[in-house]
Amino acid sequence: AYTTEFDIGDGPRLVSGSPIYIGAYPAYFLNIATAFSQILSPVQDLLHTELLLNVIVLLAFTATMGYLIFIMSQWGNKMNREVKKRTHEIQVANKSLSEKAIEMQKLNTDLNGANQKIKIAYENLKKHDKLQKEFVNIVAHELRTPVQSIMGFVEMMDLNPENRPKYMERLKHNTARLERLTADTLDIARIESGTFRLSKEKSNLKELIKNAIDDLTFTIHNSKRNNKLAVIYGKENEDLFINIDKSRIAQVLSNLLSNADKFTKNGDILAKVTKLNREKEIEVKVIDNGQGIDKEILPKLFEKFVTKSDIGTGIGLYISKQIVLAHGGRIWGKNNETRKGAEFGFSLPYI
The answer to whether residue 323 is domain-embedded is yes
Q: Which band of pLDDT confidence, cut at 50, 70 and 90, is reported for residue 47?
A: confident
Residue 1's pLDDT band (boundaries 50, 70, 90)?
low
What is this structure's pTM?
0.58
Give pLDDT tens digits for 97-122: 888 888 888 888 888 888 999 999 88
Mean predicted lDDT score pLDDT of the chain: 81
Q: Give, rounded to a whole angstrom, the gap between the first and last alpha carbons of the chain.
A: 147
Whole-number Å distance between alpha carbons of 191 and 180: 16
**Average pLDDT of span 166-191:** 81
**What is the pLDDT, as a whole number, of residue 331?**
94
Same-domain check for residues 164 and 298: no
Domain count, the chain: 2
pLDDT tens digits, one per residue of 262-301: 888 777 888 888 888 777 888 899 988 888 888 888 888 8
Its domain, for residue 242, covers 200-349
Check whether residue 281 and residue 239 sit in a common domain. yes
336 in the same domain as 212: yes
Asked if 230 and 161 sit in the same domain, the reply is no
Instruction: Report the percentage of the chain scoring pLDDT > 70.
Output: 83
CA distance 77 to 307: 87
Q: Is residue 49 part of a domain?
A: no
Alpha helices in the chain (DSSP H): 36-159, 164-193, 205-222, 246-262, 316-326
Residues 179 and 251 in one domain: no
How far is it, in rounded angstroms, from Cα 152 to Cα 157? 9
Place 43 in a pLDDT band, splitting at 50, 70 and 90.
low
241 and 345 fall within a common domain: yes
Residue 334, in any domain of the structure: yes
Closest to 259 measured CA to CA, from 338, 342, 199, 152: 342
Answer yes or no: do 207 and 333 share one domain: yes
